[in-house]
Amino acid sequence: MMGVETMSEAPKIVTLPPGPKSRRLLEERERYVPPGVYLIAPIALERAEGAVVEDVDGNRYIDFTSGIGVTSLGHTRREIVEVIKEQAERLIHTCIHVTNYRPYLDLAKELTEITPGRFPKRAILLNSGAEAVENAVKIVRQYSKRPGIISFENSFHGRTYMALTLTGKWDPYKVGFAPFVPGVYMAPYAYCYRCPFHLNYPDCGLACVEYIEKSLLKTQVPPQEVGGLIAEPIQGEGGFIAPPPDYFKALKALCDDHGILLIIDEVQTGFGRTGRWFAIEHWGVEPDVMTMGKAIAAGLPLSAVVARDELMRDVYPGSLGGTYGGNPLACVAALKVIEIIKRDGIVERAARLGEKISKRLGEMGERYEIIGDIRGKGPMMAMELVKDRGTKEPAVEETKEVLKTALNRGLLLLKAGLYGNVVRLHPPLTIEDELLEKGLDLLEETIRSVSQ
């Protein structure tokens, strides 16, 4: 029996992870699954509830990963499980190309209403973040009749060919997969801690935006051949890089000057993760196109593209979609997710959670030299670990050690970043205060032991 009381008794380590049962599954994985599918923690899960996961050996961990920002309302939340079960008994699949069904339409309407911008919009539903990115680019190219797309260094947009081409990190994502899709141009991002121009904000005058205008659009591709520019509002896999306050306004102005459509990829940042419904709201910018996924449906595969009505209403009939996109089970889960976020004030809760996390990380930053930078928005916070605060040499091995030590103590963590030296936090937005504090205590103990 899965009881709230039992599962919330965490962390609980009964055998050093990976325990014997996890190890056996690991051997099977190594035998049958290609190593291209990477693994963060060498444990196998048996069950999960709220902010706690339990492995097959009976170890319990506080989950600061949410399955990479997906189970934001906690694992196996009862009311979501119930709507999925009810829907499964009525209709599992028909395909939106074959017949219509209400949950798809209700969700499309909801998404056009909760996204920034009071202009008419439309939404298409898909299965994964990468697929949303693919479709966003298709919509932009068909509408604008311009092939070029600008993307950013250190970005991550997924593993299908267009999404991968747009991704600004070579190893491991792109290794051995060339050639990529034509028409993509890379610009440096506002990674201020490691500014590509070795400048400091605000004295830099946003040199990274100016570079697009003064260099990229003059040397690589003319603006009249660029249909869209795609950016994460906070680079997720890139290490939770949140650009300075005036960055996106400047980027949007540049796009508008040249008739380039702004695509904001909210796959990792949407649905309250940063203390706003969507992260781009922190910068007061209304994108032309948005992609979303992950937390949208509490763990069922679903993603979406939401765009201005004029971009979507004339898309060539039959040129978009797929067999499973907007599956009824995923749609009812997403509708319930949105209902809970509204009803329980989850966005405000996330903002408060962010204040607590930011305060604790700030204190850790004062105590431990290994922490070179602390950044993010709301509860989407990260620490970049360095060997030396002056040289900023990435503390790559130490970061691996942090994840391993934390796991051994009962805390599940993720890393990120160009150098793999960023510890990022993705706790459920509904995590109880006590579990959050315990998790942050474990994180601090871990950082202390690794810094010694």
Ligand X SMILES: Cc1ncc(COP(=O)(O)O)c(C=O)c1O
Residue 115: DSSP 8-state: S
Under rule CB under 6 A, residue 71 binds ligand X: no
Distance (Å, whole) CA 426 – CA 391: 28
Distance (Å, whole) CA 158 – CA 134: 9
Considering the complex, state which of residue 223 and residue 326 has its C-beta at the smaller distance from ligand X: 326
**Among positions 55, 237, 288, 398, the unique one binding ligand X when judged by CB under 6 A:** 237
**Among positions 104, 143, 152, 156, the unique one binding ligand X when judged by CB under 6 A:** 156
**Residue 136 tokens, joined:** 């966003």
Residue among 6, 10, 5 nearest 51 (CA)? 10
Point out which span in 192-200, 216-224, 232-240, 306-314 binds ligand X (CB under 6 A).
232-240
Point out which span in 127-135, 222-230, 277-285, 367-375 binds ligand X (CB under 6 A).
127-135
Distance (Å, whole) CA 177 – CA 171: 11
x/- binding map, residues 289-328, to ligand X, per CB under 6 A? ----x-----------------------------------
Point out which span in 80-88, 261-269, 312-320, 376-384 binds ligand X (CB under 6 A).
261-269
Among all chains, which residue has been given the structure tokens 């039992």? 6
CB 397 within 8 A of CB 390: no
Under rule CB under 6 A, residue 133 binds ligand X: yes
Which residues contact residue 236 at a Cβ distance below 8 angstroms, ignoring those fewer than 6 apart?
69, 156, 267, 268, 269, 416, 424
Point out which span in 20-28, 48-56, 95-103, 231-239 binds ligand X (CB under 6 A).
231-239
**Among positions 63, 110, 232, 384, the unique one binding ligand X when judged by CB under 6 A:** 232
Residue 179: cis peptide before it, omega within 30 degrees of 0: yes
Minimum distance, C-beta of residue 24 to ligand X, in the bound complex (Å) = 28
Alpha-carbon torsion angle 367, 369, 406, 418, nearest 10: 140
Minimum distance, C-beta of residue 160 to ligand X, in the bound complex (Å) = 7
Which residue is nearest to ligand X, using beta carbons?
A: 129
Region label for 44, one of left (φ > 0), alpha (ψ between -120 and 50) or beta (otherwise): beta
Pairing relation of β-strands 414-416 and 422-424? antiparallel
x/- binding map, residues 346-375, to ligand X, per CB under 6 A? ------------------------------
Q: Which residues bind ligand X (CB under 6 A)?
A: 68, 128-130, 133, 156-158, 232, 236-237, 265, 267-268, 293
